[in-house]
Structure 1
Amino acid sequence: MTLHIATLARTVEPSRPDSGLGALRTEQGNLPLRGLDVNTHVTGLVARTVVTQRFHNPHSDPLEATYVFPLPERAAVTRMTMTVAGREVTAELQERGQARARYDKAIERGNRAAIAEADRADVFTMRVGNILPDENASVRLEIVGPLAWEDGQATLRIPLVVAPRYIPGRPLDRIDAGDGRAPDTDEVPDASRITPPVLLPGFPNPVELDVSVTIDPGGLELSGVESSLHTTEAETDGERTTIRIHPGERVDRDFILRFAYGHGTVDDSLITAPDADGETGTYQVTVLPPRQQAGGRPRHVVILLDRSGSMKGWKMVAARRAAARIVDTLSDDDTFAVRCFDHEIVAPPGEDTDGLTTGTDRHRYRAVEFISRIEARGGTEMSRPLIAATDLLAGTEGERTIVLVTDGQVGNEDMILAELDGRLAGIRIHVVGIDRAVNAGFLHRLCLAGRGRLELVESEDRLDVATAHIHRRIVEPVLSDVSIEVVSGELVPDSMAPARVTDVFSGVPFVAYGRYRGASPRLRLSGTDAAGRPWSTELSPQDTVDPTALGASWARTRLRDLEDTYASTSDNGQLSTLESEIVRLSLSQHVLSRFTAFVAVDSEVVNENGTMRRITQPVEYPQGWEVPQLLSGGPIQVAATSAPPMAPMGFAPSAPSGPPPAPGGPPPAFGAPPPVAGGVRSGAPTAPGAPRGAVGPRMLGRPAVQRPVRSAGIPPRDVGQALRQELQAIRATSDGSTGSEQQHRMELSDLGTRLDLIASRIAAAQFGDADAVRDRLRRLATALAECESPRPPTGSALTDLRRHAEAELTALVEILDRVIGSEGTTTSGGGDTVPPAGMGGDGTGKPQGPRHRGASSGADSFWRRPGGRGRAT
């Protein structure tokens, strides 16, 4: 899997020279996001959090800042305010298309404005526009949600960075919906909105991070407070305890806090909160499972181990340990299979590839030995192994379980869930999510669909606890066939959330929300215990101390159910009904959804001529991820400065670095080439009336009318110098006398990645023969991508491919030499840099006017399904 990384080099250079694809040298402090403040107040098992994003405009033109960021996936975003120049504006929640139209019109008029949109359950986009030069602006988001509770311990997890995700599929023939590294594809139609540019490690900390958590135990004893990934300090004021991270931490990993209360924290309960009119209300059912051992029926288990490139490093070590320990828990009465996957599925040697193997000592030993040799490589094609696992379990009787060990870093979440729809009857899915910036939103949805549990592992220290939990849950649940019955009162039909009632496992309370009419109801929870006996408990209502939190938690859970249904539905009539219901519920409960958006518009006009620079904030590379080796670059920082060997830029040192290419196109990349300047959407402020990168047509797959505003392109001298360096490198190893064929294929594949990036930086008609040079580079990059295909070139074919690359580079260098000689072109910045971030390709930074995203008239235009049907992603 090849990862494209945007690097913004600054005047304060790191001790070691780092470079990235398309890196630009910029002035210190040119990034818009200056600070991120996260303040959480925990009462019982409810967390209220205020997230404040602080922006600054260091440029001479008004600025629009874009920031792609995560939030807890189960939390409800209930309020947003924008503060700038001493003026505070409260945002309104509107249907997404209307909110975008209002934002764009405000920007055109010259008003300050901000808009927040949800792209996933836990990935959001903030845009703040018309920030004046040297002006500060802040946006405050208020969220509320429940804490996870398991085995007597509460967990608060606050995600801080959106990790790179694998993006499969063919690029769509339209303008991308966003400004990220990856193009929109038929499998991930909004990939460009969830793949922000990435900063390489080693640069000065660009964002001041402040995280504080105040815990109010409400008279209970607080104990065991621990932060697994950050150094913290604690202060006590009476019963309250406040935990803060130390200054200087980077925004490169989740903040995770675990703690325990005294006895009686979680009991069987029915909490109710009447609405203001008294006619309806919200309830929450919480039931602790009975304390008994599960049954001993034979188990049928398929263990899926993600070995994709993003798992490299400590994650692969932890994943191997987790998978091996799960194998060790099996007995002779059980059957199992182990499958490792990236863009291929691999089984242990000698194992029945079409069935399950008995859990004898011999078979378990072979499986563990196989797991111990697995290394990370390739792309995360997750749906195929999950479908293969359901096929392996078909026809078996007893407890059928899939255990998936992964970081979940994929972009086609909805497609995976849709392809599993109908295959999970009688099959349970448990997931071990390993990462410090895990894709928890998707993994929770997968576990919900499979009636299983998610265990998050952010470090190897957490692995023992997580595998112990999974071991207990591979056995039968302590309660199954759970249902809720009304003893007295009236429930609102189809209001229970989650709609899919899960089984209950040891140590984990059953929690469900719903709506009622009239007086508070009495409810009975019934089910079957592990011994097959009927079980029930009756609950009387109690008033909640936080009715707004209860209502928001129900609304968020219900919205997630509706959005998941939307993602798996193909009927156009039902899609329209679901869309309307999502918008209605979101607006009535004032909780953000993927079909609505918060928009704030200041009444003061501050930018009458419409001039505005646009910058997308690059995000940190997640801590614990192994960064691909990148050597110092040339003028545009895409080529190695020395000759042999060419540096492999994928994750895998001994395997193809990506999935096989799509027929007729380039290979699906972990991310597409980054935007210009590693996050600057256009190299200069945009011209009045110029089309802004559209969010995509209302129906996906339909070509967009608008064209994105591109950089003026890199100078031909810089292109020639970069290609000359690549030519020198390939000539130094042209005889193929050193290294294995696999290494040579990796070198050629990585060369193709760099050439494709150079091609993307050449603007149409930028110089004589520009189009021809760009097209030849892309054809060569496509040919080199065959080195990552399932049947890569070998022997003489590989030698011929290397010679072809050398000949093409030689011809292209000669063409560029002629262009430079005839046009007398000079490089900007003396030939060793390109214009600073935020400047145009000509370095002038000439003021230009606003681009328009072309907001659609309906809800969320870039979710739509190919062929005229919507698709949530």
Structure 2
Amino acid sequence: AMAAGIKVPGQGSLLGRRGNESPRALPTAGTKVRAHVSAGSARVVVSQVFVNPHKDPIEAFYVFPLPHQAAVKRAEVTIGRRVIRGRIAARKQARDAYRRARAAGTRAIRVDQERDNVFTQAVSSVPGGGRVTVELEYVVPLRLVAGQYQLSYPIVVGPRSVPGIPNDEIPVGGGRLPDTNRVPDASRVTPPVLPAGLRSGRKLDIRVIIDEGSAPLSVKSPSHRIRVRKLDGKRREARLVSKKRIANRDFVIRYRVASKPALVVHENPDGSGFVGVTVRAPAQARRSPLSRYVVVIDDSSSMDGVALASGRRLAGELVASLDARLKFAIVPLSGKGGLGLGPISAARRRAAGRYLARMRTRRLVDPLPAIRKALRLAGDSGAVVLISDGWFANERELARLVDRAGARVFVVGLGSAPNRYLGGLLAAAGKGFADALAPGEDPGRLAAELASVAVMRAAKVIIKWPTGVHSQTPRPIPTLYPRRAVRVFARFDQLPKRASAMVRIDGGLRSKRASVMWLNKGQPNPALPSLWARQRIAGLELDEIRSGRSQATAIAKLGTEFSLLSRHTSFLAIDEGGSASRASRTVYVPVDAPAGTSRRRIMEDSELDLEGVREDESKKKSKGSGRRPRRTRGEDRTRVAKDAQPPPTVPDAGAAEFDDDDGEAEEAPGGDEATRTVDVTTTSGEAAYVQAGRGLQLSVSLSAGALFAGDERAGAARLAFGISLPIVRRLSLGAELSATAPLGSDVPVTFSLAPTVQLGLSSRLALAIAFGPSITSDGDLAGLAELITRYRIMARLDLELRLQRLLLDGTDANSATLGVGFSF
């Protein structure tokens, strides 16, 4: 167990110990990023180094971000001198193979995609004292706005809030929040966050080579200090100046090139291949039919500080720039306050300014009600602009809501690490566009651009490809707004003889037709196949959200054919010829809090989901009883220490049970030898949790109603104490001790002890029955039969309807009571 007086490491890291060893840290030693930019896309190789300071092997689990449009095409792990190369496999097959390798003590790596921009990697049997290097390669299209290319590399996973009721199933991951009915994989996308004042200690080394065929102009970064040097007449290299800077913000680099985008091609040896073209919007556009404009500004706790200041300034400039013919409204994401829908006027602009100046952050978990309200206000002829850091885990649920509405939706990401996946998904579903505003960046340009969408019509793009070109993606091509551009890809069976494609753009002051020449006909562009497949997968996922029909088979087929990571395909690497030992524990690498945020405030947005979530006392008792405690994958038991207090004592952990994706339990790697658990030290006072329903559960309820005994009618009050234990999914067995007191009647008070059986009908509704003996205050024996209906109104709090039949000597009494129950 952890002893009192242990100091927290200065750089912040994961702590673990075995037996009587002193605790040691498991830092991420560093991240190296090498990017090569060409033809509007980037090939990026990311190397992440981990160190195991323990004597024994461990399993390391890490949650990390990548760009949301990245096509991850290669994964490999280097342990010592051995290099294990990954292969793509269906996610379930990769999971099962990894489990078998881990149980056998074989070195293996598994990389999964949880969101388009959130990935997890598990490395088994990391040798004691050894270093592990995980290398990933991906290609990603660059964003092009107003002639300026932008490459983004996310470095930290923002702490998402999770709406919904905690599930009664074993969690699928080891995150700090439980899975819920609305976010069933929340535990896989909410990694532990380092406490305030601590850092991961990661060194960050980033180099970007810009090779666009002509010398890039104005290479800058709004996020980091960079040094740019000339490699030759056309190429430039940009590199991060300080490698020791805290890795807690997105790295962004922007540049311009003199040449205009053209059509690029990649030809395979058999003559087939892929093409891609970048289409820019016309400089001038027709009048837009939009009449309503709703600004939604995020006032959740995670926005506290720089992000909220930027959001208020952007919203203020946006309102000041709106056309006088519009009606506008301001809706805070918390739903508290705001400015109702009304016409533009000087008085209403001043009122908006006063409201924005007074806006403060609040605790918020669920953004859906406010977005639904904004969409209703905008109607089919309006626009909604969401200004937010986007740290919400229910992205697909929000996209489904946006898709069913008629309003255009635009998203601006704020802060040092906005959720660009949410922005892109909502913009695609709402036929708008997404952008981001870096901390300290002037919002004037973006405010003017967002205001213009209400007066300038979006353009429609149609491409007439040469004969033999097919499978265009995206289809249809997204609407094109002023200053914006869209990337379109397609396949061909044989290289077309005609070396151009006809592009028609409708929506400007006049239709525009242009013949786009093939830029590198006959020259290889190996990024194109992966970019085509990745965009095709994104289109299938959007179709899945819109129609509700699963596209898992089609996505898995594309991922397998093009060797790409997706929600349904994983990278798996197994060192079949190497020798290793089974891991003695699983460690979860904590992440830095994004720059400019307060860890205490961002944790407030998840408190609603942690209400009532506490340590399972039965596990604590298992140490004394000699029994091995049951734990879940992702538990291995995370613990939290308060400020200025020593880390708490950790119980022994024997051969635990782990869970992965399907809720099926599996044995942890550890053999028969007892192991010690791993602690995540924090200083927020936040409690470690055991999800409701995973272990022994206590409850208390109080209800009141009516009692009927023969011809007698009276009031009734009932107090009950219960205990229950889940047996299988949604089924629990337990017992209840209760007292029923008639009010204003001669019927005696009845005390009952009855076994209970409860069946969950849904995530909120449950039905229970109870049968057992009773004794009255007169000393008579009786029987009890009871039917209980429970409806969960919030975490741990139920509304209860109880129908009870008491079998008294000579007289039966029936009661119906309504009340509340609290479980803990």
- Tell me which of 153, 172, 178 is aligned to 1:177: 172
1:628 match: 600
Q: 1-side partners of 2:543 and 2:120: how far apart?
A: 23
1:849 is aligned to none
| Cα distance in structure 2, aligned partners of 1:566 and 1:82 | 33
Unaligned runs of 5+ in 1: 1-7, 630-648, 652-656, 698-703, 715-752, 766-770, 783-873
Task: Map 1:425-824 onto structure 2 (within 5 A).
Answer: 427-477=407-457, 479-480=459-460, 482-486=461-465, 488-492=466-470, 495-520=471-496, 522-531=500-509, 533-543=510-520, 545-571=523-549, 575=550, 578-608=551-581, 610-628=582-600, 651=604, 676-677=638-639, 687=654, 690-697=656-663, 704=664, 757=687, 760=690, 775=698
CA distance in 2, matches of 1:26, 1:183: 31
Asked whether 1:394 is paired with 2:379, we answer yes
CA shift at 1:194, angstroms?
A: 0.4
SS in 1 for 2:399: helix
User: Which residue among 34, 40, 49 is the counterpart of 1:45?
Assistant: 40
Which string of whole-angstrom CA distances, capped at 9 and with x for unpartnered residues, describes residues 188-236 of structure 1? 1110000000002322542222112122242x23222222222223333
Alignment: residue pair count = 658
SS in 1 for 2:161: coil
Q: Where does residue 264 of structure 2 map in the other structure?
A: 271
1:209 partner SS: strand
- The correspondence for 1:359, drawn from 344, 351, 357, is 344
**SS of residue in 2 equivalent to 1:145:** strand
The CA deviation at 1:293 is: 4.7
Contact 1:110–1:605 (8 Å) recurs in 2: no
Instruction: Give the match for residue 302 of structure 2.
Output: 310
In 2, the alpha carbon distance for the partners of 1:26 and 1:154 equals 52
Q: Distance in 2 between matches of 1:759 and 1:555?
A: 40
In structure 2, the CA distance between the partners of 1:468 and 1:65, relative to structure 1 (3 Å rule), is: same
Select 1:109's aligned residue among 104, 125, 133.
Answer: 104
State which of 245, 252, 260 in structure 1 corresponds to 2:248. Answer: 252
Q: What is the alpha-carbon distance in structure 2 between the residues aligned to residue 173 and residue 78 of structure 1?
A: 36
SS state of the match for residue 36, structure 1?
strand
State the one-letter code of the partner of 1:614.
Answer: T
Q: 1:98 aligns with which of 93, 96, 105?
A: 93
Distance 1:614 1:759, change over 3 A: closer
What secondary structure sits across from 1:446 in the alignment? helix
Q: CA deviation at 1:580?
A: 1.4
Is the counterpart of residue 370 in structure 1 residue 370 in structure 2? no
Aligned mate of 1:413, from 395, 398, 406:
395
Mapped partners of 1:331, 1:338: distance in 2: 16
Q: RMSD of aligned C-alpha atoms?
A: 3.8
Could you tell me whether the CA contact under 8 Å between 1:305 and 1:406 is conserved in 2?
yes
Shift of 1:490: 2.8
Query: For the residues of structure 2 that align with 1:299 and 1:658, how far apart are their CA atoms?
Result: 37
Compared CA separation, residues 336 and 234, structure 1 to 2 (3 A): same
Range moving further from structure 2, 146-155 or 240-249: 240-249
Report the Cα offset of residue 114 of structure 1.
Answer: 0.7
Equivalent-residue separation in structure 2 for 1:759 and 1:452 (angstroms): 40
Give 3-state SS (helix, strand or coil) of 1:144's partner. Answer: strand
For structure 2, which runs of at least 5 residues remain unmatched after alignment?
615-633, 642-646, 678-683, 703-824
Query: How far 1:185 moved relative to its partner?
Result: 0.7
**1:175 and 1:707 in contact (8 A); partners too:** no
Structure 1 position 320 matched with structure 2 position 312: yes
**Distance in 2 between the 1:20 and 1:540 partners?**
54
* 9 and 403 in structure 1: CA distance in 2 versus 1, 3 angstrom threshold: farther
Contact 1:713 1:761 (8 Å CA) reproduced: no
Compared CA separation, residues 130 and 683, structure 1 to 2 (3 A): farther
CA distance in 2, matches of 1:421, 1:27: 54
CA drift of 1:107 comes to 1.6
Superposition deviation, residue 20 in structure 1: 13
Are 1:404 and 2:386 counterparts? yes
Cα deviation for residue 759 of structure 1 reads 7.1
Deviation at 1:362, TM superposition (A): 1.6
The question of whether the paired residues in 1 share the 8 Å contact of 2:33 and 2:44 is answered with: yes
Q: Secondary structure at the match of 1:198?
A: coil
8 A Cα contact 2:15 2:25, kept in partner = no
Partner of 2:746: none
Which structure carries more helix by proportion?
A: 1
Residue number among 168, 187, 192 corresponding to 1:192 in the alignment = 187
State the AA in 2 paired with 1:414. R
Aligned AA for 1:483?
Answer: I
Contact 1:408 1:433 in 2 (8 A): yes
Q: Report which of the two has the higher share of strand.
A: 2
Distance 1:382 1:165 in 2: 12
User: Amino acid of the residue matched to residue 589 of structure 1?
Assistant: F
Secondary structure of 1:332's aligned partner: coil
1:584-620 per-position Cα deviation (integer Å, ceiling 9, x unaligned):
1111111211100111111234335x34221010000
Counterpart code for 2:338: A
Amino acid paired to 1:226 = K
Give the number of the structure whose alpha-carbon radius of gyration is greater: 2
Q: In the aligned structure 2, how far is the partner of 1:485 from the partner of 1:507?
A: 23
- What is the SS of the residue equivalent to 1:197? coil
Aligned to 1:232: 226
Q: Secondary structure at the match of 2:31?
A: strand
What SS does structure 2 have at the residue aligned with 1:603? coil
**Is contact 2:304–2:598 with CA below 8 Å preserved after alignment?**
yes
Q: Deviations over 1:111-149 (max 9, x none)?
A: 111111110001000111111111111111011111111
Residues in 1 aligned to 2:97 and 2:142: alpha-carbon distance in whole angstroms = 35
Q: Which amino acid aligns with 1:676?
A: T
Using CA pairs below 8 Å that are at least 6 residues apart, which structure has the higher relative contact order?
Answer: 1
Give the Å deviation of 1:259: 1.6
AA in 2 matched with 1:223 = L
- Does residue 292 (structure 1) correspond to residue 284 (structure 2)? The answer is yes
| Deviations 1:748-784 (CA, angstroms, capped at 9, x unpaired) | xxxxx96x9377599999xxxxx7xx848xx79x9xx
- Partners of 2:698 and 2:597 lie apart in 1 by 34
- 2: CA distance, partners of 1:270 / 1:232: 31
Counterpart of 1:67 in structure 2 is 62
| Counterpart residue identity of residue 501, structure 1 | I
Match of 1:800 in 2: none
CA distance in 1, matches of 2:14, 2:97: 37
TM-aligned CA distance change 1:276 to 1:189, over 3 Å: farther
Percent of aligned pairs sharing the same letter:
27
* Mapped partners of 2:360, 2:27: distance in 1: 38
1:471, distance to aligned residue in structure 2 (A): 3.0
How far apart are residue 301 of structure 1 and its match? 0.8
SS of equivalent to 2:150: strand
Instruction: Note if contact 1:290-1:478 (Cα within 8 Å) is conserved in structure 2.
Output: no
Task: Please tell me whether the aligned partners of residues 286 and 509 of structure 1 are also in contact (alpha carbons under 8 angstroms).
Answer: yes
Letter in 2 for 1:407: D
Q: Distance in 2 between matches of 1:477 and 1:247?
A: 45
Say which of 60, 78, 86 aligns to 1:83.
78
Measure the CA separation in 1 of the matches of 2:385 and 2:282: 24
